[in-house]
Amino acid sequence: MWLFDRDLWFEIFHTLGKNMFRTFLTMLGVIFAMIILVLLLGSANGMSNGFNKIFAGTASNSLFVWGQQTSMPYKGFERGRRIRYKIEDAEILKKQIPEIEVLAPRIELASHRGTVTVYRNGQTSGSAVYGDYPEIDNITKKKLVEGRFLNQTDMDHSKKVCVIGEETYKLLFDKGEKAIGEDIRINGVYFTVVGIYKPNNNINIDGENAVFIPFTTFQKAFNSGDLMGWMAIAVQENTPVPVVEKQIKDILKAKYDIHPDDERAIGSFDMSEIFNNITAFTTVLQGFSFFIGIFTLLAGVIAISNILLITVKERTKEIGVRRALGATPKIVKRQIVVEAIVLTTFAGLVGFAISVGILSIMDSMWGSGDNFPFVKPMISVPQFFVSFVLMVGLSVLIGLLPANRAVRVRPIEALREE
Amino acid sequence: MIEIKDLHKSYKMGSNSLHVLKGINFKVEEGELVAIMGSSGSGKSTLLNILGMLDGADSGEYTLDGVPIKNLSETKAAQYRNKFLGFIFQSFNLINYKSALENVALPLYYQKVPRKERQEKAMQYLDRVGLKPWATHHPSELSGGQKQRVAIARAMAAEPKVLLADEPTGALDSKTSYEVMDLIQKINDEGNTILVVTHEEDIAHMCKRIVHLKDGVIVEDKKIEQVRAEQYV
């Protein structure tokens, strides 16, 4: 196997080593190309990871539905009627739409996005107050700094417990004060704090200044009866959210006598849309990085081919001698192509090492992704292999150019005395 | 060993063609030492190139050791060159980044001789031209005569049927020239067939036969009394 032929490698390194400086300059093109390719890809990956981190804990295939005011008169109802759902709707929807995986109803004190005053030992906060099902945690995960989230037992026994946001904690408690087990007062009812969650830079639908109490407790404490204000719905993985969204709206419209064309009566928010947009964005970004990187790489490899062409010209005589001594065109070609591959591969690896170093530095500087979606910027193993195979493939193709030039010169011309 | 019948060769020079060889008939037996003489433009180098399979003839027959040489592909030509022929050039044509030993071993490399055997054989031939102590030296560290001796060792290493020398002493002073000719004579004494292209009378007379070329035809072909180069060394 010629690949393990010591003499071939000896000759290749000899010719390359003979012109160290030129060899180095030649390689610079590929080194930079590889750096650019890896940095671009790595950054694109970092951004993709960053976005993923932001949305970590939020079910991507989910939507939220709430009631608004009608905008069209229908069946004798005037426009401007406020739509309020009933808790039974949850069961109806779940039964009729099997694609729904989780449905967590919610009710709010005061109107949507409104706040109520929460008291504790003379301190107050204007917070949103939600009555929630524990299942909500499967859709919008709360990062707890202390304690726990609401659970089924709280629901079953309508326990007067609550989970509060960090912002709420700051308003109601002194710095460092223990909150778990303490009571806070909402509309004259006392609730025991069982958990504190912190903002996690995610999509924060609920805000950081909020109090979560079990749905059943809410019903009893604030006499909300069978009303329900809001639904968080997780849809099966491979079902498009808009399809389910339409089904839900159709069912609700029929039930609450809303005009089928009334777009404003039911408010909804499709989470998957954002995810799809971001996925599309990062995919385009990666594709673009690859595109630029590959062309830069091509330019670098062409530079190598160029230098090899010059080398071939300089070595015309030597090649002539070799052929007179019995080197077949195949042997001559092979040597030059392997030179191209060796140069490119080595340069590529150097560039790769440098860029991976730069990426690690970038990672340690901004990689935490707290203020900017940029987490673990690094290229993946398949990406590395694809770029590498492409690079070597290109170098073979481009190496054939000087190789053919070398073979085209007939030995007699190469040996002609000056 | 070599048989040429009615060999023609012309080169295209723009619109007109230059008829260089105009029907050469020529035979070389095994063990001969032939000088091919002629002024520049007589076609002697062209003849040697055709003999060396570096160039093809337009018409005519060429048989080397019973093998007809005709319409060879580059690969086949390279293999035949390697098997049948050893080249000695005026400007030595050593590969300057290789040591003397590596230069001598090169034809063996193309014969796919294993490395160790190659080295031994190359050393053996280097010893025969008296340059064993210079084995690790690069051409730039050798004198002209030494370089030509390395080239001769290289030409012989593949044990070819015929040695082709194109002005082997053209770049050397007379003393070194005689040394080289002495070596060539000794190699011939061992039974090797050698063709020497030269335009120097004294060098030609150190061969056993002189073939005179003029304007593409052989004008004279005579056996001569060989002058031994030894006496001048």
Hey, is the C-beta of A313 within 8 angstroms of any chain B C-beta? no
First-to-final CA distance of chain A: 38
What chain A residue is nearest to B56 in terms of C-alpha separation?
A: A412
Tell me what pLDDT residue A52 has: 77
Are B79 and A328 a contacting pair at CB < 8 A? yes
Using the predicted structure, report yes or no on whether residue B169 has a pLDDT greater than 60.
yes
The tokens describing B216, both together, are 């593409």
Phi–psi pair at B21, nearest 5 degrees: -110, 125
- Contact B78/A15, CB-based, under 8 Å? no
Q: Write the CA distances from B66 to A368, B31, B33, B79, integer angstroms.
A: 81, 16, 19, 16
Q: Using a CB-CB distance cutoff of 8 angstroms, which residues of chain A are in contact with residue B106?
A: 322, 325
Interface test with A, best of B46, B73, B76, B81 (most A CBs within 10 A): B81
> According to the model, what pLDDT value does residue B30 have?
92
Res A80: pLDDT:
85
User: Which pLDDT belongs to residue A112?
Assistant: 54
Instruction: Report chain B's terminal Cα–Cα distance, integer Å.
Output: 31
Query: In the predicted model, what is the mean pLDDT of chain A?
Result: 84
User: Does the structure show a pLDDT above 70 at A370?
Assistant: no
Q: What's the predicted TM-score (pTM) here? A: 0.69
CB atoms B81 and A15 under 8 Å: no
Q: Using CB atoms, which residue from B97, B110, B154 is nearest to A18?
A: B97
Residue of A nearest to B55 (CA): A412
Contact: B54, A412; criterion CB under 8 Å: yes
- From B52's Cα to the closest Cα of chain A, the distance in A is 8
All residues of chain A having their beta carbon less than 8 Å from the beta carbon of residue B169 are: none
- Check A321 against B74: CB less than 8 A apart: no
The answer for A336, left when phi > 0, alpha when psi is -120 to 50, beta otherwise, is alpha
The pLDDT value recorded for residue A57 is 65
Spatial contact of B208 and B200, defined as CB atoms under 8 Å apart: no
For residues A318 and B92, is the Cβ–Cβ distance under 8 A? no
Q: Specify the 3-state DSSP secondary structure of A200.
A: coil
> How distant is the Cα of B231 from the closest Cα of chain A, in angstroms?
31
CB–CB contact B54 A317 (8 Å)? no
Q: What is the mean pLDDT of residues A52-57?
A: 71
Cα dihedral sign for A408, A410, A411, A414?
A: negative
Least confident of A8-17, A319-328, B14-23, B56-65: A8-17
Mapping DSSP to helix (H, G, I), strand (E, B) and coil, where does residue A192 land? strand
Q: What integer pLDDT is reported at residue B40 of this predicted model? A: 80
Q: Which residues of B touch A (CB under 8 A)?
A: 49, 52, 54-55, 74-75, 78-79, 81-83, 87, 89-91, 93-95, 97-98, 106-107, 109-111, 115, 154, 158
CB contacts < 8 A, A to B, total 65
Q: Which member of B75, B110, B115 has the closest CB to residue A325?
A: B110
Hey, where are the domains in chain B? 2-232
CATH class of the region B2-232: alpha beta
Q: Is A18 on the interface with B (CB under 8 A)?
A: yes
Arithmetic mean of pLDDT, B187-210: 92
A327:B97 CB<8 A:
no
The model's pLDDT over A56-112, given as tens digits with 9 standing for 90+, comes to 667 778 888 988 888 888 888 888 888 888 888 888 888 888 888 888 998 888 755
- Rounded distance, CA A336 to CA A341, Å? 9
What percent of chain B is predicted at pLDDT more than 90? 48
Closest-CA residue in chain B for A12? B97
Rounded to whole angstroms, how far apart are CA atoms A69 and A263?
10
Q: Is A334 on the interface with B (CB under 8 A)?
A: no
Q: Inter-chain contact B78–A326, Cβ cutoff 8 Å? A: yes
Selecting from A317, A321, A329 the residue whose C-beta is nearest the C-beta of B74 gives A329
Contact list in B for residue A403 (CB cut-off 8 A) is: none
Who among A321, A328, A407 is closest to B93 (CB)? A321
pLDDT of the residue at B37 = 92
The tens digit of pLDDT for each residue in A246-301 reads 989 999 888 888 888 888 888 888 888 888 888 888 889 888 888 888 888 888 88
- List the one residue out of A113, A129, A137 whose CA is nearest residue A59: A137
pLDDT at A16 over 70: yes
- Residues in chain B with CB shorter than 8 Å from the CB of A409 are none
Which tokens sit at A411? 């030995």
Q: Search chain A and give the residue with CA nearest B52.
A: A324
Does residue A1 have a pLDDT over 60?
Answer: no
Residue A261: φ, ψ to 5°: -95, 0
E strand intervals along B100-207: 162-166, 193-197
**How far apart are the CA of A311 and the nearest CA of chain B, in angstroms?**
14
Contact B78 A14 (CB under 8 A): no
- The per-residue pLDDT for A350 is 92
Do the chains contact at A325 and B82, CB–CB below 8 Å? yes
Tell if the CB–CB gap between A324 and B158 is shorter than 8 Å.
no
Please list every residue in chain A whose beta carbon sits closer than 8 Å to the beta carbon of residue B107. 325-326
To the nearest whole Å, the CA of B225 is away from the closest chain A CA by 31
Q: What is the pLDDT of residues A317-346, one digit of tens each?
A: 888 888 888 888 888 888 888 888 888 888
Query: Hey, which residues does A211 pair with through a beta bridge?
Result: A129, A164
Q: What is the mean pLDDT of residues A35-55?
A: 83
Query: Of A336-340, A369-373, B124-128, which range is least confident?
Result: A369-373
